Amino acid sequence: MTYQFDFAALLPYWPEFVHGLWLTLQLSAMATVLGFIVGTLCAIGRADGPPAVKWAVAAYVEVIRNTPLLVQIFLVYFGIATLGFRIGANTAAVAALVVNVGAYTCEIVRAGLESVHKAQLEAADCLGLSRVQTYWHVVLRPAVERVYPALTSQYVLLMLASSITSQISAEELTAVANRVQSDTFRSFETYIVVGLLYLLLSFVVRIAFWLVGLGVFVRRRKLGTAL
Amino acid sequence: MSAVANPTRAAREDTPRSPQAGAPVVRLHDVHKSFGALKVLDGVSLDVGPGEVAAIIGQSGSGKSTALRCINALETIQQGTIHVCGHAIHDPQLDRRALRRDVGIVFQSYNLFPHLTAEQNIMLAPTCVKGMTKAQARELAREVLSHVGLAEKAEHYPEQLSGGQQQRVAIARSLAMRPKLMLFDEVTSALDPQLTGEVLKVMENLAREGMTMILVTHEMAFARKVASKVVYMHRGRVWETGTGAMLDDPQTPELRAFIGNGL
Ligand SMILES: Nc1ncnc2c1ncn2[C@@H]1O[C@H](COP(=O)(O)OP(=O)(O)O)[C@@H](O)[C@H]1O
Ligand SMILES: [Mg+2]
């Protein structure tokens, strides 16, 4: 039993694949930026907030880490609709991914925050810096630098996981693939191509993180040493 | 009116004639501080006048660091009063940010920010707290770095500097805020003798320029030479106070034993 590959059948669909690639990139980029902000604020809240905030963040993190992403996506999508808000599938997809990756980011960044010595906070306090200034100028950069590889992996995973949002018919690469294979009946070929495109996207995400790291962690770029 | 008519005279009256003159910059009265059941400060009273250099000496665990930390509102006290540069430290309504503008502190462990260059370490507080522009702050950083003999190290990161150099940057970082009072907690204890010398030199210059300073130190020779007041702490109390000469003629057996062990 031999299978006759026919990639040529997919050729007419290349603009769709490119479009899907672009949509996935957009979706992931938005979820990455927002997820990082949410996760970092949660990490600070958990490390330094009042007890109620600490407790709320801990509960959020545990719930997200112990439920499937697909269920979270459905909950966000249908939950928001039930509350009477009309949002598109793509907005719901970004929201769900932010909620999801925010929890994982919180745990990673928290480890980074804990690596910053208390004496650094005290030194900043003694110089007259406010709490916010201390976090912004003194704590955050070294904390994130130390956990940057873990963060990078987490956001590559996020990009890959965004494929699940096709389940609520968000427009992205996997949704495009589903359409193409039902048009062409070349399922195997379609998902081989999509797999390769995800591989390419992973590479793009890693490069992007590397470039951002070069810009943000100036000391590391210049000295090449770990903090 | 008279001050305007005769400014030189007014100025001369404002200037302390001797280190002890003028209202105290720091006044501790009967300060008590415990950590749980552990009594660390047991009724400490201390006055430090403008331009004075007070050296606090004593065994490890006698409460020296805690005293310094209480002065800088890093610890809350259970009893007594502390006044620093007009701020009532014991008052729960204390304006900490205002206090921070008047008091600088340097720790044994330098605590430079590792991701910032020497210059950026120094620029941070003037830009964040005093609202200076980057350019103004950079100029100021260069100035205070020269002051501690490190002008050429402005662009270096802490890890590229020796311990002594890091400590001098830490001192410069405090000086950039133009404090009225400088606190030093065993700032040379982590340094080998040669590097200790360069840091002490900077502190001695500061003292000579009239900076009011309180330093916790194990450097007896330095205390004897530079301090206008030496405070021996023992078991959370000020056990003996005097000038540097007190170290040559201790009155209490505890201080005698301490000096005997220390030398
Ligand atoms: N934050 C703290 N919590 C509990 N105990 C402390 C704390 N800080 C200091 N101590 C204790 O207080 C005592 C005095 O400490 P310290 O002021 O650091 O002494 P010194 O600087 O003279 O060596 C020591 O027994 C120390 O263990
Ligand atoms: Mg100490």
Q: Whose CA is closest to atom 25 on ligand 1? A: B61
In A, residues 123-152, which contact B (CB 8 Å cutoff)? 123-130, 133, 137-138, 141-142, 145
On whether residue B1 sits in a domain, the answer given is: no
Residue type, position B203, single letter: M
Strand B53-57 and strand B79-84: pairing? unpaired
Query: Does the beta carbon of B228 sit less than 6 angstroms from any atom of ligand 1?
Result: no
A216 CA → ligand 2 middle, Å: 36
Mean pLDDT, residues A15-33 taken together: 96
Alpha-carbon distance of A121 to A137, in angstroms, equals 11
Q: What's the CA dihedral at A183, A186, A188, A189 to 10 degrees?
A: -100
Give residue B21's pLDDT.
Answer: 54
Predicted ipTM of the assembly: 0.90
Whole-number pLDDT of residue B227 = 96
CB A90 within 8 A of CB A27: yes
Yes or no: say if A74 and A168 are a contact pair by the CB < 8 Å rule: yes
B5 is a domain residue: no
DSSP string, B161-186: S-HHHHHHHHHHHHHTT--SEEEEES
Q: Residue B162: its pLDDT value, please?
A: 96
What φ, ψ does residue A226 adopt, rounded to 5°?
Answer: -80, 155
- Cα separation of A108 and A45, whole Å? 14
- What is the per-residue pLDDT for B27? 97
What does DSSP assign to residue A147? T
- Closest Cβ opposite residue B157 in set A123, A137, A219: A219
Domains detected in chain A: 13-223 (1.10.3720.10)
Q: Is there a domain that residue B13 lies in?
A: no
Do residue B107 and residue A222 have CB atoms under 8 angstroms apart? no
Cβ partners under 8 Å of residue B125, min gap 6: A127, A128, A129, B173, B176, B177
- Of the CA atoms within 13 Å of residue A144, those in its CB half-sphere come to 24
What's the pLDDT score for residue A1? 66
For B70, the domain range is 24-260
Q: What pLDDT shows up at residue B261?
A: 66
Domain presence at residue B15: no
Residue B10 lies in a domain: no
Q: In the predicted model, what is the mean pLDDT of residues A80-99? A: 93
Segment A189-196 shows an average pLDDT of: 95
In a mutational test of the B interface, the residue from A122, A127, A135, A136 whose CB has the highest number of chain B CBs within 10 Å is: A127
- Pairing mode, strands B181-185 and B79-84: unpaired
Beta bridge mates, B34? B39
Q: Which residues of A touch B104 (CB under 8 A)?
A: 126
Query: In chain B, how many domains are there?
Result: 1
Tokens matching residue B126: 């003037």
pLDDT band at A130 (very low <50, low <70, confident <90, very high): very high
Q: Nearest Cα to A48, choosing from A120, A97, A110? A: A110
What CA–CA distance (Å, rounded) separates B7 from B21? Answer: 20
- Is B74's CB within 8 Å of A126's CB? yes
Token output for A35 = 């997820």
Q: What CATH number is associated with residue B80?
A: 3.40.50.300
The model's pLDDT over B99-146, given as tens digits with 9 standing for 90+, comes to: 999 999 999 999 999 999 999 999 999 999 999 999 999 999 999 999
Q: What is the pTM of this model?
A: 0.90
Distance from the B97 Cα atom to the nearest Cα atom in chain A, whole angstroms: 6
Judge if the beta carbon of residue B60 lies within 6 A of ligand 1: yes
pLDDT value at position B260? Answer: 84
- The winner for highest mean pLDDT among A53-57, A76-80, B246-250 is A53-57
**Ligand 1 contacts CB of residue B253 (under 6 A):** no
Give percent of chain A with pLDDT exceeding 90: 93
pLDDT at A86: 86
B28 within domain boundaries: yes
pLDDT the model gives residue B7: 37
Chain B positions in Cβ-Cβ contact with residue A142 (cut-off 8 Å) = 113-115
Ligand 2 (ion): residues with CB under 5 Å are B 65
Residues above pLDDT 70, as percent of chain A: 100
Inter-chain contacts counted by CB atoms under 8 A, chains A and B? 67
Q: Inspect the interface and report whether the beta carbons of A138 and B113 lie closer than 8 Å.
A: yes
Ranges of chain B whose pLDDT falls below 70:
1-22, 261-263
At B18 the pLDDT is 47
Where residue A84 falls (left for φ over 0; alpha for ψ -120 to 50; beta otherwise) is left
Contact A134, A65 (CB under 8 A): no
Extract the tokens encoding B151. Answer: 């002008």
Residue B9 lies in a domain: no
DSSP per residue over chain B, as a string? -HHHHSHHHHHHHHS-SSTT-SS-SEEEEEEEEEETTEEEEEEEEEEE-TT-EEEEE--TTSSHHHHHHHHTTSS--SEEEEEETTEETTSTT--HHHHHHHEEEE-TT----TTS-HHHHHHHHHHHHS---HHHHHHHHHHHHHHTT-GGGTT--GGGS-HHHHHHHHHHHHHTT--SEEEEESTTTTS-HHHHHHHHHHHHHHHHTT-EEEEE-S-HHHHHHH-SEEEEEETTEEEEEE-GGGGTS-SSHHHHHHHHHH-
Res A227: pLDDT:
87
Report yes or no on B4 lying in a domain: no
Chain A nearest-CA distance from B195, in A, is 22
